[in-house]
Amino acid sequence: MINIAVFCSGNGSNLQAILDAARDGLIPCRVKLMVCDNPGAYAIKRAEDSGIPRLIVNRKDFPSREAMEERIASEVDEKNIKLICLAGYMRLLSGRFVERYAGRIINVHPALLPAFKGKSAIRDAFESGVNISGVTVHFVTEAVDSGPVILQEAVVIEKSDTIETLTEKIHKVEHRLYPQAIKLFCQNKT
Ligand code: GRF
């Protein structure tokens, strides 16, 4: 069993999917740490309800990004974390941080990378008129939304879809695909 950390900034529905999968024995790991950079995030409540350790960091409380990342890294190291899962973590990690945990940080993105990188991927895909988008789980490198892909799954955009129904479909796939990718990592199969 390896220890993993989940980094969040918002709702935390992917955190929830990971917590549930770990609790149900579907992924061979323990969620040992939740890191959140937004003190108002609902993800914090989810972590509290599951009783996992939380580190809430506010950028304003640190003199620099490096100082904030140093605080996070000390917690990650102290808890012997082998894998960091970004789940809606909206802050860019420095090259230094990514290097420190090279090959041990993964992310879920709501589109079929390399298409529709960036923060509004679902909307961008919807507005572009493509009829297929999807979900990607990938390793994190310094360049945003660009690291090696672990798993991808397509989601068909129907004529009847709205941005809301598409968002719902994508999230549903994320909640299944992300735990699967974590499982592959735990089994050394990535
Ligand atoms: C997800 O759509 C994920 O793909 C993206 O941010 C969103 C986070 O949602 N990176 P949640 O906080 O897990 O509910």
Question: Residue with structure tokens 């789940």?
Answer: 87
Nearest CA to ligand 1 atom 14: 13
Query: What is the 184 CA–ligand 1 centroid distance (Å)?
Result: 20
Secondary element (H or E) of residue 78: helix 65-78
> For residue 32, which of 3, 75, 72 has the smallest C-alpha distance?
3
Residue type, 85: C
Name the pTM for this structure: 0.97
If you take atom 1 of ligand 1, which residue's CA is the nearest one?
Answer: 88
Q: Is 138 a catalytic residue?
A: no
DSSP characters for 83-151? EEEESS--SPPPHHHHHHTTT-EEEEESS-TTSS-STTHHHHHHHHT-SEEEEEEEE--SSTT-SPEEE
CA dist 42 and 53 (Å) reads 15
- Counting from 1 in the atom list of ligand 1, the atom nearest the Cα of 16 is 13
d(CA 58, CA 44): 13
Query: How far apart are the CA of 87 and the centre of ligand 1, in A?
Result: 6
Q: Omega of the bond prior to 114 within 30 degrees of 0, cis?
A: yes
Candidate from 6, 7, 11, 14 with most ligand 1 atoms within 8 A of CB, to mutate: 14
- Contact yes or no for 44/36 (Cβ under 8 A): yes
pLDDT in tens, the chain (190 residues): 999 999 999 999 999 999 999 999 999 999 999 999 999 999 999 999 999 999 999 999 999 999 999 999 999 999 999 999 999 999 999 999 999 999 999 999 999 999 999 999 999 999 999 999 999 999 999 999 999 999 999 999 999 999 999 999 999 999 999 999 999 999 999 9
- Choosing from 109, 138, 171, 175, which is the catalytic residue? 109
Cα-Cα end-to-end distance for the chain: 16
Q: Give the residue whose CA is nearest to atom 5 of ligand 1.
A: 88
